[in-house]
Amino acid sequence: MPRQKAFDQEAVLEKAMQVFWQKGYEATSVQDLVEAMGINRGSLYDTFCDKRQLFLSAIAHYSNTFIQQAVDRLQAPGAARQAIADYFESIVLCIENASPCQGCLMTNTIIEFSPHDPEVASYLKQTLLKLEDAFYSALVRAKDRGEIPSDAQLRTLSRYLTASVQGLQVISKVDPDPHSLRDIVKAILTVLS
């Protein structure tokens, strides 16, 4: 009979995700992970197989948490254009309250992995498509409600907004000033006028 795990798998995954978020994949050692997770190496390998699989699980956990929050925010009832503006403001607030600014785990991973890891790049692309589709749904609602011009190219705009989220996250790593970020967001949102 297999031994019962003496730890909460979701809780240790959250801790691992935080370490990867702070340090990146390459700079994170297995020792960093076992210390942060509060488990021994055997438990880490038994549960997650290896550092790479743990990382992939952490990315999935991030997506299921933070990307889903974004999707939920963008699909909330009410004014869709305002939901988009509120989502961008939530990013700025998150950056403003982070110390130090870690950016977005998805964005950090895209920069670190995508050029040389097709499996991770494919997963990240699918995750970004979820965000793009959430923007698209919000834009359809906005167009139907007359909140944006009737000739707006919705798929193009949804891609632009998704790319803008990533750009905002990247720039925040070198300039996390909320006033600068809000100026950038104002410029981004002008495409909805």
Domain boundaries, the chain: 63-192
Q: What is the mean pLDDT of each run of 10 residues along the chain (193 residues)?
A: 72 95 94 95 93 95 91 92 96 86 86 87 93 97 96 98 96 93 98 94
Rounded CA gap, 64 and 192, in Å?
28
All residues at 6 or more sequence positions from 62 whose CB lies less than 8 Å from its CB, including other chains: 17, 21, 105, 106
Would you state the pLDDT for residue 48? 95
Residue type (1 letter), 179: H
Residue 123, SS3 per DSSP? helix
**CATH class of this structure's domain 63-192:** mainly alpha
Would you state the pLDDT for residue 113? 85
Asked whether the beta carbons of 17 and 105 are under 8 A apart, the reply is: yes
Would you state the pLDDT for residue 58? 95
Residue type (1 letter), 67: I
Would you state the pLDDT for residue 46? 93
